[in-house]
Each structure stands twice: as C-alpha cells, then as structure tokens.
Amino acid sequence: MLTGDLRPTRGARAATRPYRLLNASTSWLYPVLRRLFPRHTTTTDTVGRAMLAVTRRQGRGPRVLTSVGINGLAAQGAA
C-alpha cells in the first residue's frame, strides 16, 4: 500500500545521506506516481502551505495528517 511520497522542492534536501540517495535515485518516478496516485504524493511546498493552514485553524482539526490530509489542507489554504 502506498502511504505517500514527499518530493523535496526549491533546493530542499533530506537531512540524511540514505534519504538523499533514495530521492536522487527515484526522482524520475515522481511524475508517474503523481499521475497514478495524486492524493498520495506531495511536495515540500505543499507541506509548507498545509502548515500555514494548520496555524490558521489555531489547534482545531486533526493532530496527525496523512498525505491526503496535507494536500487537502494546502488546497484550502490556497483558496
């Protein structure tokens, strides 16, 4: 089961070498995953927009978010 894929954007990079290698070796796969599972893929930009949306809610809402929840909150914050 695919739980989610987070793609670094705007120069962001993973803190550990294994994750940097994983991101580098699978970066070609992201467009395919995005097309097949759009609700389960996200970017660091989307996570940032979701974080801003959470702060606007002042603690109301879910305490744990999946990729689907992050994408939904980011979309609400953009509106």
Q: What is the pLDDT of residue 60?
A: 79
Tens of pLDDT, residues 21-77: 877 777 788 888 888 888 888 888 888 888 888 888 777 777 788 888 888 888 886
Per residue, what are the HEC states of 44-69?
HHHHHHHHHHHHHCCCCCCCCCCHHH
Report how many domains make up the chain.
1
Residues 6+ apart with CB under 8 A from 46: 70, 71, 74
pLDDT score recorded for residue 1 = 40
pLDDT grade for 78, boundaries at 50, 70 and 90: low
Q: Which domain holds residue 50?
A: 5-78
Q: What pLDDT does 3 receive?
A: 59
